[in-house]
Amino acid sequence: MIKTWFVTGTDTNVGKTIVSVLLLKKATIIGFNTAGYKPVSSGCIKTIYGLRNHDALLLKKHSVIKFKYKEINPYSFYGNIPPNFFYCKKNNITFKNLSDKLHNIQKKANWIIIEGIGGWDTPIFNTNTLSNWIKEEKIPVILVISIKLGCINHAILTVKSIIASGLKLTGWFANCMNYEQYLLNYIYTIKQYIKSPFLGIIPYIQDINNICTNNINIILPE
């Protein structure tokens, strides 16, 4: 059975990549043939091989099944802005291409993490969001919440939108971007509003390139 999840966040820079990498690493330890998929990325750097996205490279690094870069990140943009800001000549994203790439990954891997871009409803072309494609594919969602002032409101609004889309919210993570003295208070409050499983607390990680799972207790989604 092939398992596929979509990792989204309450905003941009909330820890989607950290959570995605930790999930891939834990699933790999259990014995799954894992693969990460970053359909759309921005803020890429120019290399001799073309545009490369740091998050996509981390997903590639921590996947068991090794795909070519363009297979796991088919759409990459240089500017650190929403992809829909680019005009049609540069932005040729289609849901069909996103699905074709995913189905190719599913032929070789049996445990797949799709990492979103920005928050749940970040537009990728015209008025289409990546979440619209996730709805078409009917992929269950994992939510990453950055614990900070304002996160409760962001979490509630995002969960309402996910549930309204008809998709299953498989679970959520609390990510500690820095020291937050009210961490447990935030988590307790959010639990009152989110009935989906709480999958774990991600401690503050200084170096994302060398993530160690030894002292991080997380639950794999079901």
- Catalytic annotation, residues: 38
Q: What angle do CA 31, 35, 36 make, to 5 degrees?
A: 135
Q: Which backbone phi and psi does 8 adopt, to 5 degrees?
A: -125, 175
**Residues near 212 by Cβ (< 8 Å), separated by ≥ 6?**
none
Q: Which residue, among 40, 29, 32, has the nearest Cα to 129 in the 3D structure?
A: 40
**97 vs 82: CA distance, rounded Å:** 19
In DSSP notation, 144-187 reads EEE-STTHHHHHHHHHHHHHHTT--EEEEEEE-SS--TTHHHHH
The residues near 1 (Cβ < 8 Å, ≥ 6 apart) are: 110
Residues in Cβ contact with 48 at an 8 Å cutoff, skipping those fewer than 6 apart: none
